[in-house]
């Protein structure tokens, strides 16, 4: 029986010729990631277990991105715990305030992750790097500790759902609309324990930023990972970033998939997810006019340069509507600099947006934009659970950067076509 | 007795332990806010040995290990659900906290029932209704991790075994 891309990468890292869905394997890790929320818990269990060394100082990445710049004394203590650990073991890829970006934008940008690699991260959106043709998946802090100590971890080989993409996205429709549409189709546990394998002629039409956004939210369908084939755009992206050999894996022609979902990109429209599940999707035009209080444009899902260009092109020469708070967060320092160089930052500030240093901040209700009872936000983030951005009676509507920016201008949910 | 606290589908880790408390790592502090955004009084009323019964995809969302840590620190004995989100599943196994996949039990057991669980056999007994259920057994490899008390203990014994 043939193998999927995911199964081939797992087999290669387990030293096996082939693997079967459901098989439990122990595999070697190319990168182990943690942040300021999850690393301190990993450090606690690492120390409590009595480990005194790490497997490879070049294959661990710690990015202090969630509550930074530190929002309070306790979060400062978390950062210190992670920082001290990074210093103790001379961890190469350690990113603190001033260098840090949101981890899932930062690692690909810096070439820390590459096609064909096996990456675990103590953050659920670690699945983002599947955009590069890597196997990457979110794990917990004990997994991170075990990975740092041994360079290995256990995996259950996933079965797969094939997502066949055809056609080409229309103007203002983006990777965010693709993934929201898919989650609406299959549900928040539609890909539970499975890999989402994106394929088909539509892949070539998607930018790398669109692919990162799509792979990023595989977890919101319950997926173990989301993965894209390696093509010319992938090679172009990693060239100059990845300075080590990497491997292109391809699915076997006779690979088995539990089901195939076909999405014609031509037919997609701007899509939103209403509270309180990412699968609660509607076309943006169907809920146009819904009142809002806040807009957030950023996050590991949609804080990349093409996201900010899309938002700026809508906000240019316009103003954020009275009574609306619009917060823009470039995901990394490099993207932040690009925004300045391209004039996007000026556009945002002139429109009346607050522009922040990179942080996960409001996405998880951490800081930089929490909401009180009764408020509603349109955001480019990834989760709209109860209380996700603040009070349990506040609401989050997930959307693309274009819809978020248009909504900021109109003061209610709106599509770019309405402006 | 083990009293059951029952919840619906897709209980996410944001409601199990909201991010506003993730500036803490101490289990006893996390326990004070466990389930706060889905059941505000939970931490005040739960007793050691009680059981959570959830719906499908229990523990979805964020990878925060703080979620099973908080549940365990409340004294909750185990979680029973028809299915678990995969990171919550891993995290529970890895910290040696028992979780049981059992669609029938999750459907039939009512909030407030008195329930017994035999972890050796996977048999769940609802003393209130007299019904019994058989949970899906853990795969042997995962069973070994739980038996060792978690992933780090398993890893230590593996490394020491090889040395």
Question: Per the domain annotation, does A419 fall within a domain?
Answer: no
* Statement to judge: residues A276 and A258 lie in one domain: no
pLDDT at B137: 83
Mean pLDDT of A336-345: 98
Question: Per the domain annotation, does A34 fall within a domain?
Answer: yes
Taking alpha carbons only, the member of A278, A220, A281, A275 closest to residue A387 is: A275
* Statement to judge: residues A283 and A253 lie in one domain: no
User: Using a CB cutoff of 8 Å and minimum separation of 24, what contacts does A12-17 make?
Assistant: A12/A116, A12/A247, A12/A249, A13/A118, A13/A135, A14/A155
Taking alpha carbons only, the member of A300, A299, A211, A244 closest to residue A113 is: A244
pLDDT at A222: 97
* Statement to judge: residues A176 and A27 lie in one domain: yes
Tell me the pLDDT band of B159, cut-offs 50, 70 and 90.
confident
What is the side-by-side order of every strand in the sheet holding A271-273?
Answer: A281-283, A271-273, A395-398, A376-379, A294-297, A325-328, A354-355
Mean pLDDT of A348-363: 98
Q: Which residue has the tokens 């990109």?
A: A265
User: Using a CB cutoff of 8 Å and minimum separation of 24, what contacts does B115-123 make?
Assistant: B115/B2, B115/B4, B115/B51, B115/B53, B116/B2, B117/B2, B117/B51, B117/B77, B117/B78, B117/B80, B119/B78
Contact A41 B65 (CB under 8 A): yes
* Statement to judge: residues A84 and A223 lie in one domain: yes
Contact A49 B57 (CB under 8 A): no
Contact B20 A192 (CB under 8 A): no
* Statement to judge: residues A276 and A245 lie in one domain: no
* Statement to judge: residues A145 and A277 lie in one domain: no
For residues B13 and B60, is the Cβ–Cβ distance under 8 A? yes
pLDDT at B143: 86
Taking alpha carbons only, the member of A128, A219, A19 closest to residue B87 is: A219
For A:105-164, CB contacts with B below 8 A are 121-124, 126, 138-143, 145-146, 149-150, 154
Cross-chain CB nearest to B151 (options A44, A143, A277):
A143
For residues A265 and A163, is the Cβ–Cβ distance under 8 A? no
Tell me the pLDDT band of B118, cut-offs 50, 70 and 90.
very high
Cα angle A277-A283-A287, degrees, rounded to a multiple of 5: 85
Contact B56 A75 (CB under 8 A): no
pLDDT at A79: 98
> Which residues, 6 or more positions from A59, have their beta carbon under 8 angstroms from its beta carbon?
A29, A30, A31, A32, A151
Question: Per the domain annotation, does A314 fall within a domain?
Answer: yes
The alpha-carbon radius of gyration of chain B (Å, integer) is 15
Contact B65 A141 (CB under 8 A): yes
* Statement to judge: residues A207 and A319 lie in one domain: no
* Domain termination residue (choose one: A216, A241, A263): A263
ipTM: 0.96
* Domain termination residue (choose one: A219, A243, A263): A263
The predicted-structure confidence for A311-320, as pLDDT tens digits, reads as follows 999 999 999 9
d(CA A292, CA A233): 37
* Statement to judge: residues A139 and A212 lie in one domain: yes
> Which residues, 6 or more positions from A382, have their beta carbon under 8 angstroms from its beta carbon?
A125, A216, A217, A220, A278, A299, A300, A301, A363, A398
d(CA A310, CA A300): 16
For B:71-130, CB contacts with A below 8 A are 83, 85-87, 90-91, 94-95
Contacts of A192 in chain B (CB under 8 A): 57, 83, 85-86
Contact B25 A78 (CB under 8 A): yes
Answer whether A69 touches B (CB < 8 Å): no
Q: Could you tell me how many residues make up chain B?
A: 163
The whole-angstrom distance between residue A381's C-alpha and the CA centroid of its chain comes to 9
d(CA B45, CA B50): 10
Where in A104-169 does DSSP place strands (E)?
118-121, 135-138, 152-156, 160-166
Peptide bond just before A69 cis, omega within 30 deg: yes
* Statement to judge: residues A202 and A281 lie in one domain: no
Contacts of A71 in chain B (CB under 8 A): 23
Question: Per the domain annotation, does A74 fall within a domain?
Answer: yes
Ordered DSSP codes for A291-359? B-SEEEE-HHHH-SHHHHHHHHHHHTT--PPTT-EEEE--SSHHHHHHHHHTTHHHHHHHHT-EE--S-
CA distance B101 to chain A (A): 14
d(CA A35, CA A27): 22
Ordered DSSP codes for A19-76? --TT-EEEEE-SEEEEETTTHHHHHHHHHHTT----S-TTSEEEE--SSTTT-SHHHH
Answer whether A204 touches B (CB < 8 Å): no
* Statement to judge: residues A105 and A242 lie in one domain: yes
Domain count, chain A: 2
As a whole number, the mean pLDDT across chain A is: 98
d(CA A297, CA A173): 16
pLDDT at B52: 98
- Give me the domain span that covers residue A389: 271-414
Question: Per the domain annotation, does A61 fall within a domain?
Answer: yes
Contacts of A75 in chain B (CB under 8 A): 23
Q: Which residues of A132-145 are buried (b: 16+ CB within 10 A; e: fewer)?
A: bbbbbbbbbbbbbb
* Statement to judge: residues A249 and A275 lie in one domain: no
Pairs of residues, one from chain A and one from chain B, whose beta carbons lie less than 8 Å apart:
133
Tell me the pLDDT band of B65, cut-offs 50, 70 and 90.
very high
pLDDT at A246: 98
Structure tokens at A324: 């609306």
Contact B23 A67 (CB under 8 A): yes
Contact B91 A366 (CB under 8 A): no
Contacts of A50 in chain B (CB under 8 A): 156
Question: Per the domain annotation, does A210 fall within a domain?
Answer: yes
* Domain termination residue (choose one: A244, A263, A282): A263
Tell me the pLDDT band of A393, cut-offs 50, 70 and 90.
very high
Report which DSSP code applies to B139. Answer: P
Q: Which residue on chain B is closest to A217 by alpha carbon?
A: B61
Q: Which residue on chain A is closest to B39 by alpha carbon?
A: A392
Question: Per the domain annotation, does A351 fall within a domain?
Answer: yes
Contacts of A385 in chain B (CB under 8 A): 12, 14-15, 61
Ordered DSSP codes for B28-42? HHHHTTTTTTT-TTH
The predicted-structure confidence for A203-243, as pLDDT tens digits, reads as follows 999 999 999 999 999 999 999 999 999 999 999 999 999 99
For A:251-310, CB contacts with B below 8 A are 277
- Is the pLDDT at B163 greater than 50? The verdict is no
Structure tokens at B134: 């058989």
What is the side-by-side order of every strand in the sheet holding A60-63?
Answer: A93-95, A60-63, A31-35, A118-121, A135-138
For residues A378 and A404, is the Cβ–Cβ distance under 8 A? yes
- Is the pLDDT at A338 greater than 90? The verdict is yes
Where in chain B does DSSP place strands (E)?
4-6, 51-53, 78-81, 99-101, 115-118, 123-126, 132-134
For residues A412 and A289, is the Cβ–Cβ distance under 8 A? yes
CA distance A77 to chain B (A): 8
* Statement to judge: residues A252 and A281 lie in one domain: no
Contacts of A188 in chain B (CB under 8 A): 10, 57, 60
Considering the entire predicted model, what is its pTM?
A: 0.97
Direct distance between the N- and C-terminal alpha carbons of chain A, in angstroms, rounded to an integer? 53
The predicted-structure confidence for A147-182, as pLDDT tens digits, reads as follows 999 999 999 999 999 999 999 999 999 999 999 999
Question: Per the domain annotation, does A371 fall within a domain?
Answer: yes
Tell me the pLDDT band of B162, cut-offs 50, 70 and 90.
low
Answer whether A388 touches B (CB < 8 Å): yes
The predicted-structure confidence for B90-115, as pLDDT tens digits, reads as follows 999 999 999 999 999 999 999 999 99
Cross-chain CB nearest to B20 (options A122, A143, A365):
A365
Contacts of A40 in chain B (CB under 8 A): 25
The predicted-structure confidence for B15-59, as pLDDT tens digits, reads as follows 999 999 999 999 999 999 999 999 999 999 999 999 999 999 999
Contacts of B37 in chain A (CB under 8 A): 386-387, 392
Contact B25 A41 (CB under 8 A): yes
- Is the pLDDT at A323 greater than 60? The verdict is yes
CATH number for the domain that contains residue A341: 3.30.499.10
């Amino acid at each position: 029986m043939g193998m999927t891309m995911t199964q081939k990468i797992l087999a290669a890292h387990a030293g096996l010729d082939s693997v079967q869905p459901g098989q439990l394997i122990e595999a070697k890790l190319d990168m182990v990631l943690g942040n300021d929320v999850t690393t301190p818990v990993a450090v606690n269990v690492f120390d409590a277990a009595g480990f005194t060394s790490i497997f490879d100082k070049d294959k661990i990445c710690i990015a202090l991105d969630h509550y930074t710049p530190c929002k309070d004394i306790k979060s400062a203590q978390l950062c210190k715990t992670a920082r001290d650990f990074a210093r103790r073991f001379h961890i190469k890829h350690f990113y603190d305030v001033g260098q840090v970006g949101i981890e899932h934008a930062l690692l690909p940008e810096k070439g820390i992750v590459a096609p064909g690699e096996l990456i675990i991260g103590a953050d659920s959106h670690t699945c983002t790097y599947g955009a590069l043709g890597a196997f990457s998946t979110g794990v917990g802090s004990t997994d991170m500790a075990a990975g740092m100590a041994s360079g290995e971890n256990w995996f259950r080989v996933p079965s797969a759902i094939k997502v066949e993409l055809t056609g080409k996205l229309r103007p203002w429709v983006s990777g965010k609309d693709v993934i929201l549409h898919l989650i609406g189709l299959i549900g928040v546990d539609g890909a539970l324990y499975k890999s989402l394998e994106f394929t088909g002629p539509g892949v070539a039409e998607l930018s790398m930023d669109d692919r990162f956004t799509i792979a990023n939210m595989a977890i919101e369908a319950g997926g173990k990972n989301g993965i894209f084939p390696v093509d010319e755009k992938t090679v172009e992206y990693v060239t100059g970033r990845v300075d080590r050999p990497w491997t292109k894996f391809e699915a076997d022609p006779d690979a088995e998939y539990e089901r195939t979902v076909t999405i014609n990109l031509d037919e997609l429209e701007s899509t939103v997810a209403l509270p309180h599940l990412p699968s609660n999707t509607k076309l943006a035009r169907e809920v146009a006019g819904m009142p809002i209080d806040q807009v957030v444009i950023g996050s590991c899902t949609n804080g990349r340069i093409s996201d900010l260009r899309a938002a700026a092109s809508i906000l240019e020469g316009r103003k954020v509507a009275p009574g609306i708070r619009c917060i823009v967060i470039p995901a990394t320092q490099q993207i932040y600099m690009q925004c300045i160089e391209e004039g996007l930052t000026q556009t945002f500030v002139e429109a009346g947006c607050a522009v922040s240093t990179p942080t996960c901040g409001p996405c998880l209700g951490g800081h930089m934009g929490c909401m009180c009872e009764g408020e509603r936000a349109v955001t480019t983030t990834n989760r709209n659970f109860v209380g996700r951005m603040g009070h349990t009676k506040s609401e989050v509507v997930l959307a693309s950067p274009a819809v978020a920016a248009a909504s900021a201008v109109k003061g209610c949910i709106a599509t770019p076509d309405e402006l | 007795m083990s009293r059951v606290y029952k919840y619906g589908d897709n209980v996410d880790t944001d409601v199990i332990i909201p991010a506003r408390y993730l500036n803490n790592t101490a289990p006893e502090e996390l326990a004070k806010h466990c389930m706060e955004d889905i059941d505000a009084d939970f931490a005040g009323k739960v007793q050691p040995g009680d059981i959570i019964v959830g719906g499908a995809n229990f523990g979805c969302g964020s990878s925060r290990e703080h979620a099973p840590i908080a549940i365990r620190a409340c004294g909750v004995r185990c979680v029973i659900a028809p299915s678990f989100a995969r990171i919550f599943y891993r995290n529970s196994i890895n910290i040696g906290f028992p979780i049981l996949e059992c669609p029938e039990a999750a459907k039939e057991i009512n909030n407030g029932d008195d329930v017994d669980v035999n972890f050796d056999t996977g048999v769940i007994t609802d003393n209130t209704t007299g019904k019994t259920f058989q949970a899906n057994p853990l795969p042997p490899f995962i069973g070994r991790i739980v038996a060792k008390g978690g992933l780090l203990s398993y890893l230590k014994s593996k490394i020491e075994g090889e040395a």
